[in-house]
């Protein structure tokens, strides 16, 4: 089958979803109102609340949610064949991620721009809020550990990516300095930065860098992991404008350029999908795709991380309420497109089925390596670039995504630790150095505890990361459902995805628990149990909250109350 | 055409600024708050060798004075001889 058909079906599905489903949700369920005064106008302060153009908001939402995760998930999941991954990405993006992202944005905008955590407290309760914080912390912990391992693996497998990946930091520092200290306009620095970035890939291609070998008993991947966390700790302590902001920006630019290059190459090369639709020749260590598929692909189908972006920052900058559809649904669609690109690279980038199977010999052996190699060959066939260069390009793209997420992740972890410090009156924890150190040490413990020392077993925790992400998405969908119920609107469009996600997450946790136990990976057993306990609490909280919302609604009806909420909502239509 | 280009450049700039606008503005505000405290310190009983020089700044800072004292947790003006709200 031609990959072009897959592109057409996938993008066609996203388009239909946007034009029909998101329209239905926006008009009939959320009832977006162009006359509603958004928090950006009502509370405009020039700091957090600033009305912002919807294209800018969409670009921000898209670039902050589309990172390495929507590449890694599908790249692992195609081991079950391309069809399950493809269906989950397309349906997930339309019916799960779209309503989740847009819903978080809408609910936040309707509640004075509160973040999802604060919203959880006011809609569900205090305990749910604490749970929310714990789940976020676990999520950040895993994302940092996994991404460090992923980058280390890429550096080892594709040494040509080392120079460009570190060179970007210098470029970002230069841009930050030029813009803030010299007041230079943005256009030329951006253009030159992009040219330098792609030029550095040629240099990297010519001069691959490999670390010499084991030092003090540490393998090469472990050395990279340490170096990366050293970097992330320093980067997260620097003022935002120095590094994080220009880095985010370059990352955003190269995301657009990279996606354009990749889809153009797919169209020109028109490769054939060599992987089977459903893989019947599965390696021994691969678990059943039901339920593991739904946690292996989290970002790219639905991810709780998006709700944090939607509700904390984007909602405070929403110019008109009707922009929710454009920013939320289309932002999620952008990430779906990246996941689609990953599926195509990992299934159509190989000449023969045997070559593909060579990559997918075990559950964790495919991943980003397959994406880089497969995508590299599509780029080289489509655009006539050397295969090597195509590989470097994609490897650098993945490294940059993952590294920027690490920067932000360590910073966010520090904020959470500092917040805990101030809540519980432990003054020392509020210091930035101690809190950063705690964050980094926790991440390192996880990275090495999960077998990252050898740099081989790191991806074992990927499904656990996906599960935690789904758990967070579940919490957001729960808040949305309760919110919709309180307004007297139909809540099944968020409730059904919520039930599905929580069921899959719990099931996947149990399956993995048994697996870890059998393999005597007790550290992972412990982690799995922690997440399982969090899941059980989420279920209990949600049952309580839903029952309460339901009975409140029934009482209101019995009292003859029509409609509900302060937003002029009528009874469910 | 040139209008479109400049509009695009403005959007690009906003794309750069918007995600971190809040964090930067907060950092700036914190520094400004400290500066405000220095300027008004003499009047609150904290000796300040530079108060003679900062006196000149009072009229310039007065506009922001209200927001500052509210942000610092003082509902009314903390200074006897400077009225605010």
Which band of pLDDT confidence, cut at 50, 70 and 90, is reported for residue A561? low
Here the tokens at position B63 are 């506009």
Q: Are B22 and A190 an interchain contact pair (Cβ–Cβ within 8 Å)? A: no
Q: What is the mean pLDDT of chain A?
A: 88
> How close is the nearest chain B Cα to the Cα of A180, in Å?
11
Q: What is the pLDDT of residues A391-418, one digit of tens each?
A: 999 999 999 988 888 888 888 888 888 8
Give me the percent of chain A exceeding a pLDDT of 70: 96
The counts of H helices and E strands in chain B are 4, 0
Q: How many CB atoms lie within 10 A of CB A26?
A: 21
Nearest Cα neighbor of A499 from A533, A474, A518 is A474
Determine the residue of chain A that is closest to B14 in CA distance: A56
Torsion of CA A337, A18, A3, A466, to 10 degrees: 40
Contact list, A252 vs chain B (CB under 8 Å): 15
Cis peptide, bond prior to residue A448, ω within 30 of zero: no
Place of tokens 């354009």: A260
Cβ atoms within 10 Å of A93's Cβ, excluding its own? 29
Measured CB to CB, residues of chain B less than 8 Å from chain A are 9, 11-16, 18-27, 29
Tell me if chain B has a CB within 8 Å of the CB of A249.
Answer: yes
pLDDT at A563: 46
- Best of A54, A59, A66 to substitute, by most chain B Cβ atoms within 10 angstroms, is A59
Q: Which of chain A's residues have a Cβ under 8 Å away from the Cβ of B16?
A: 179, 186, 245-246, 249
For B21, nearest residue in chain A (alpha carbons): A47
- Chain-centroid distance of CA A471 in Å reads 13
d(CA B24, CA A156): 37
A241: nearest CA in chain B? B24
In this prediction, residue B39 carries a pLDDT of 82
Do A224 and A158 meet the contact criterion of CB atoms below 8 Å apart? no
Q: Which residue has the higher pLDDT, A446 or A572?
A: A446
Q: Maximum Cα–Cα distance for chain A, whole Å?
A: 77
In angstroms, the Cα distances linking A176 to A187, A241, A243 are 13, 6, 7
* CB-closest option in B12, B13, B19 to A60: B19
Mutation target for B interface from A186, A189, A238: give the one with most B CBs within 10 A: A186
User: Residue A451 has what pLDDT?
Assistant: 63
Residue of B nearest to A59 (CA): B15
**Could you tell me which residues come within 8 angstroms of residue A491 by beta carbon, excluding any fewer than 6 positions away?**
A480, A481, A482, A484, A485
With tokens 């970035």, the residue in question is A197
d(CA A49, nearest CA chain B) in Å: 8
Token match 């559809």: residue? A325
Print burial letters for A249-275: b (CB count within 10 Å at least 16), e (below 16): bbbbbbbeebbebbbebbeebbbebbb
Given a contact cutoff of 8 angstroms between Cβ atoms, the answer to whether A162 and A208 are in contact is: yes
Q: What is the pLDDT of residue A457?
A: 53
C-beta atoms of B21 and A47 within 8 A: yes
* β-bridge mates for residue A272, sequence order: A2
Closest listed residue to residue A513, CA positions, set A502, A496, A527, A494: A527
Residue with tokens 């944090």: A308
The 10s digit of each residue's pLDDT in A97-151 is 999 999 999 999 999 988 888 888 888 888 888 888 888 888 888 888 888 988 9
Cα gap A125→A107, rounded to integer Å? 16
Tens of pLDDT, residue by residue over A152-202, are 989 999 999 999 999 999 999 999 999 888 888 888 999 999 999 999 999
Q: Convert the pLDDT of each residue in A56-72 to its tens digit.
A: 999 888 888 888 889 99
Residue A264 has which token pair?
Answer: 């153009």
Q: Tell me the mean pLDDT in the region A13-42.
A: 96
CA A44 from chain center: how many Å? Answer: 29
Confidence (pTM): 0.89
Q: Using the predicted structure, report yes or no on whether residue A382 has a pLDDT greater than 90.
A: yes
Closest residue to B15, CB basis, from A56, A240, A246: A56
Q: Is the CB of residue A160 less than 8 Å from the CB of residue A200?
A: no
Cβ-Cβ pairs closer than 8 A, A with B, add up to: 58
Is the pLDDT at A458 greater than 90, yes or no? no
Interface contact A244, partner B, CB < 8 A: yes
| Residue A32, min C-alpha distance to chain B (Å) | 24
- In the block, tokens 């790249």 appear at A75
Q: Which of residues 45-74 of A touch B (CB under 8 A)?
A: 46-48, 50, 52-53, 55-57, 59-60, 64
Which residue from B11, B21, B22 is facing A55, i.e. has the nearest CB?
B11
The pLDDT of residue B37 is 84
CA B85 to chain A, closest CA, distance in angstroms equals 20
Q: Do B19 and A55 touch (CB under 8 A)?
A: no
Please, what is the end-to-end C-alpha distance for chain A in angstroms? 44
Q: Is A240 on the interface with B (CB under 8 A)?
A: yes
Question: CA of B14: how far to CAs of A58, A246, A283, B26, in Å?
Answer: 12, 13, 49, 18
Asked if B11's CB is within 8 angstroms of A56's CB, the reply is: yes
Cross-strand partners of A218 = A215
pLDDT, position A569: 39
Walk along chain B (85 residues) in steps of 10 and give the mean pLDDT of each run: 88 88 86 85 80 79 81 76 72
All residues of chain B having their beta carbon less than 8 Å from the beta carbon of residue A50 are 18, 21
Write A133-136 long-range contacts (CB < 8 A, 24+).
A133/A416, A133/A419, A133/A420, A134/A534, A135/A304, A135/A468, A135/A471, A135/A472, A135/A475, A135/A534, A135/A538, A136/A308, A136/A412, A136/A416, A136/A472
**Looking at beta carbons, which residues of chain A come within 8 Å of B21?**
47-48, 50
ipTM entry:
0.81
Instruction: For residue range A321-362, list pLDDT tens digits in order.
Output: 999 999 999 999 999 999 999 999 999 999 899 999 988 988
- Give the model confidence (pLDDT) of A197-237 as tens digits: 999 999 998 999 888 877 777 788 889 999 999 999 998 88
Query: What value does the mean pLDDT take over residues A529-542?
Result: 87
Least confident among A185-194, A293-302, A456-465: A456-465
């Amino acid at each position: 089958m031609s990959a072009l058909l897959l592109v057409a079906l996938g993008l066609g599905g996203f388009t239909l979803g946007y034009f029909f489903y998101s329209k239905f949700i926006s008009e009939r369920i959320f009832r977006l109102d162009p006359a509603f005064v958004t928090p950006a106008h009502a509370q405009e302060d020039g700091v957090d609340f600033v009305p912002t153009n919807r294209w800018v908001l969409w670009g921000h939402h898209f670039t902050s949610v589309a990172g390495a995760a929507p590449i890694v998930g599908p790249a692992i999941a195609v081991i079950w064949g391309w069809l399950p991954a493809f269906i989950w990405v397309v349906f997930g993006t339309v019916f799960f991620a779209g309503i989740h992202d847009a819903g978080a944005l809408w609910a936040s905008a309707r509640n004075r721009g509160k973040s999802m955590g604060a919203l959880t407290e006011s809609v569900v309760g205090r305990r749910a809020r604490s749970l929310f914080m714990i789940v976020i912390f676990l999520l950040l912990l895993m994302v940092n550990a996994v991404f460090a391992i992923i980058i280390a693996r890429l550096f080892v497998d594709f040494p040509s990516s080392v120079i460009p990946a570190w060179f970007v930091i210098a470029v970002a520092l230069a841009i930050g300095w030029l813009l803030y200290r010299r007041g230079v306009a943005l256009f030329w620095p951006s253009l030159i930065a992009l040219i330098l970035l792609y030029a550095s890939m040629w240099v990297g291609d010519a001069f691959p860098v490999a670390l010499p070998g084991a030092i003090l008993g540490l393998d090469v991947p472990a050395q990279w992991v340490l170096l990366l966390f050293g970097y992330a700790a320093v980067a997260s302590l620097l003022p935002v404008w120095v590094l994080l902001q220009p880095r985010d920006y370059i990352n955003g630019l190269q995301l657009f350029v990279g996606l354009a290059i990749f889809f153009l190459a797919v169209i020109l090369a028109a490769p054939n999908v060599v992987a089977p639709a459903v893989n019947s020749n599965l390696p021994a260590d691969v678990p059943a795709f039901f339920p593991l598929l739904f946690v292996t692909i989290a970002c790219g189908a639905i991810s709780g991380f998006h709700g944090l972006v939607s509700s904390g920052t984007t909602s405070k900058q929403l110019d008109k309420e009707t922009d929710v559809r454009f920013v939320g649904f289309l932002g999620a669609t952008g990430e779906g497109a990246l996941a689609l690109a990953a599926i195509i690279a990992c299934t159509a980038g190989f000449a023969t089925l045997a070559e593909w199977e060579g990559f997918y010999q075990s559950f964790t052996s495919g991943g980003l390596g397959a994406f880089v190699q497969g995508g590299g060959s599509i780029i080289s066939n489509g655009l006539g670039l050397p295969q090597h260069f195509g590989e470097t390009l994609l490897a650098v793209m993945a490294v940059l995504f993952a590294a920027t997420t690490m920067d932000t992740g360590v910073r966010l972890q520090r904020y959470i630790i500092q917040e805990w410090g101030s809540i519980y009156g432990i003054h020392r924890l509020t210091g930035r150095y101690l809190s950063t150190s705690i964050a980094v040490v926790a991440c390192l413990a996880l990275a090495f505890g999960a077998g990252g020392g050898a740099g081989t077993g790191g991806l074992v925790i990927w499904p656990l990361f996906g599960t935690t992400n789904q758990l967070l998405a579940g919490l957001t969908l729960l808040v949305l459902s309760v919110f919709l119920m309180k307004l007297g609107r139909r809540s099944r469009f968020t409730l059904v995805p919520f039930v599905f996600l929580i069921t899959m997450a719990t099931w996947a946790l149990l399956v993995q628990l048994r697996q870890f136990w059998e393999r005597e990976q007790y550290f992972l057993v412990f982690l799995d149990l922690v997440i399982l306990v969090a899941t059980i609490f989420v279920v209990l909280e949600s049952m309580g909250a839903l029952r309460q919302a339901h009975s409140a609604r029934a009482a209101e009806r019995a009292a003859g109350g029509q409609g509900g909420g302060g937003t002029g909502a009528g009874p469910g239509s | 055409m040139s209008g479109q280009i400049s509009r695009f450049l403005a959007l690009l700039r906003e794309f750069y600024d918007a995600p971190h606008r809040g964090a930067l503005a907060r950092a700036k505000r914190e520094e400004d708050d400290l500066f405000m405290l220095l300027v008004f310190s003499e009047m609150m009983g904290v000796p300040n060798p530079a108060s003679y020089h900062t006196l000149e700044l009072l009229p310039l800072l007065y506009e922001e004075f209200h927001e500052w004292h509210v942000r610092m947790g003082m509902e009314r003006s903390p200074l006897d001889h400077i009225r605010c709200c």
